[in-house]
Chains A and B, each alone.
Chain A
Amino acid sequence: MKAERVVRGCFALSLAASVGLSLVYLAGGSRAWEGVLLAAALGGIAVGFILWATRLIDAPDNVEERREQKPGEGLGLISEVLEQSVTGVSRRKVLAGLASGAAASLGAALAIPSLSLGPQPGRSLFRTLWVPGIPAVDSEGGRVRPEDVPLSGIITVFPQGSEGAGDSQAVLLRVAPDLLSLPEARASWAPQGCLAYSKICTHAGCPVGLYRAQARELLCPCHQSTFDVLTGAAPVFGPAVRPLPQLPLAVDEDGYLVAQGDFSGPVGPSFWNVTQ
């Protein structure tokens, strides 16, 4: 008898909470009160039903027998019916083979248009929009002089006219030129100590956005790959293997930074023919 009163109370509480929920909504809404009142409305029903099941009704244990499923049983009957499809056919295998061949070819022909979903990758993974002589600009399109580049931070630069381009983004930073130990062929790539590397991590493609200026390391926040900017962004920790491709820089006659050409290698995460 007492349990029944509690169940009644639960449903009554739920009813009241639902009315309250509607009022809160009509009064302008509130995330917290909506959640709490909805929880109360549902919770009342929940406790009510669970107590009803476990306290109010006397449900005895029932026993149900399982039907034994013996291996192979029933199969004869089904295959007998299925056989009816080939009773008048003389060369069953040929017919069945052709029918399935027709179905498979139709399936393939209908699947091929899924190639419309995207372009052939071609050489696009090996190229970016940087070309010889194109100015490096910041995200607002402003040109950059070497002395504008901070010694303790990084600027994200793009080829002029393609601000925001995903695959062409580069980090621009500056170090004292005598600290550099770039490969010999890149001696002319860093005018006045200005270095530009692809900002796309060679591991999983995240923007390499953290710069530890003291250690002169670029760090990718996704999987902690770390690159040493003095040695051509060679990886020093984490899962990345390839260095960040370097952008050869030069200074034009007006004193602004321009690219000498495209990056030193394919940007972004590796793929099977990345070295070809």
Chain B
Amino acid sequence: MIRYVESRLGLDSWGRRALRKVFPDHWSFLIGEIALFCFIILVATGTFLTLFYRPDAAVVTYEGPYEPLRGQEVSAAFDSVMRLSFEVRAGLVMRQIHHWAALVFVASTVVHMCRVFFTGAFRRPRELNWIVGFTMLMLALGLGFTGYSLPDDLLSGTGLRIGYSALISIPFAGPYIASLAFGGEFPTENVISRLFVLHVMLLPGLTIALLGAHLAILWRQKHTQYRGPGRSESNVVGKGLWPYQALLSLGVMALTAAVLALMGGLVQINPIWLYGPFDATTVSAPSQPDWYMGWLDGATRLFPPWEPTVFGVTIPSMFLPAVLLPGLFFTVVALWPFIERRLTNDAAEHHLLDSPRDEPGRTALGVAGLLFFTVLTLAGGNDLIALTLDIQVESMTRFFRLAMFVVPPVGGALAYRICRQLRDSREHPLGRGSGVVLRRTEQGGFEEVPRS
């Protein structure tokens, strides 16, 4: 079989080199692979779901086996997801694996980006691949949002409605953009079929294309590596693709799938039968979006009631937290390799990775950014927290308004100090603190001796 392909394509020398390609052996290099494997699992389970889903807003009467909703008027889309969940054999487990995989896909993409950020792997010559990866994160968010809106349930309908309000808030163009995107004034009939074509064709197609580019650039530029004996800017040290890396990656792929299968089987997610079908006059309370959207929801909750009108032009209170804030945040993230290059005047090629402590400024900024994201995400659940702790929701909002400005700079400053101390002491944060041990002397006292 190999001989057959080889004799027709003539890949012998290329294939041999490819099989020997060097992969630095470090666990943090597997996070991006997990994201890739999640995507593969999403395509596989998503294909199954597509065979049963109907992207149709037409009103039908639910007549399936789930008693509480029987006889209720629902959309054909909602009806098909109910059928998938209760009547199609293995349908619910596929749906739940798909949804869990989507959450882990975005999560592993973000963690992978954090790894690249904190180790400086985005520096020349890898700025291009940072941009490609960043674009894939945007596509992943788009895939997530369009995907969880498809069942046409009450919760996702609320998400769409807020998305419409964010679009319409854009100065001057907003009403036009919102009307074009939704096909009129919310709620409209067209939106489900539009989301469907985005979710199953356009966005995954773009993602696959960029995934190819991402891996091709990685292959061409070779891996970065951490500092260590025998490792320099001009070489790359690690295990060959075959057999070690290939077997390990296959194992990690199966492990990712196994964990997602376990979650899909045992941990309920997005139970649309509990939310009920979309209805323009009701909203589920409390209502939280998927985790990666929570920070924007939190930002809109915290934003003060401020809606200035200047010369007849109103800046809606949704615009700053829901459009401008993510716009600015993501612009800074996308352009970070170029911003840092401007700040440090460092245009040299880098193939050896930083330890986060080597660059206290960058690390502090990253920590502050993550804390900002965390505070806003928690604020997106302020009503749940208030309910759990039995505190007034208004107090929670005031607390988070303060925390949003206090926590990130304090955390960043703390990270800066810790990095400086670690760097100066040359100690490993996870290693034992001191280079000496105490030993009992024969006289009953203690003495310090160097650790062997």
- Which A residues lie at the B interface, using CB under 8 A? 25, 28-29, 31-36, 38-43, 45-50, 52-54, 57, 59, 61-66, 68-69, 114-115, 117-121, 124-125, 139, 156, 164, 166-167, 169, 199, 203-207, 209-210, 221-225, 235, 237-242, 268-276
Contacts and interface: CB of A to CB of B under 8 A. Distances in A.
B11 interface: no
Contacts of B183: 117-119
B394 A224 contact: yes
B251 interface: yes
Q: Which of A28, A31, A66, A120 has the most CB of B within 10 A?
A: A31
Nearest to B253: A46
A199 B243 contact: no
Interface in B400-424: none
Contact of B235 (A28, A49, A66, A121): A66
A46 B258 contact: yes
Given A39-B265, A224-B397, A50 B252 contact: yes
B281 interface: yes
A173 to B, nearest CB: 15
B285 to A, nearest CB: 3
Contacts of B265: 31-36, 38-39
A268 B284 CA distance: 18
Contacts of A207: 280-283
A275 B22 CA distance: 64
Contacts of B261: 35, 38-39, 42
A222 B287 contact: yes
B65 interface: no
B281 A25 contact: no
Interface in B275-298: 280-287, 297
B98 to A, nearest CB: 13
A49 B179 contact: no
Nearest to A34: B93
5 contacts: A62-B239, A64-B236, A117-B183, A204-B161, A269-B318
Interface of B: 20-22, 25, 89-90, 92-93, 96-97, 125, 158, 161-162, 164-166, 168-172, 174-176, 178-187, 222, 230, 233-240, 243-245, 247-248, 250-255, 257-259, 261-266, 280-287, 297, 300-307, 309, 312-318, 321-322, 349, 351, 382-383, 393-394, 397
Contact of A62 (B176, B179, B237): B237
B169 to A, nearest CB: 7
A118 B168 CA distance: 14
B1 to A, nearest CB: 21
A182 B181 CA distance: 38
A66 B231 CA distance: 11
B185 A32 contact: no
B162 A205 contact: yes
Contacts of B243: 53, 57, 59
Contacts of A139: 281
Contacts of A32: 265-266
A43 B255 contact: yes
B20 to A, nearest CB: 7
Sort A-B residue pairs by CB-CB distance and give the 4 closest, nearest first.
A35-B265, A49-B251, A221-B285, A50-B251
Contacts of B305: 225, 235, 238-241
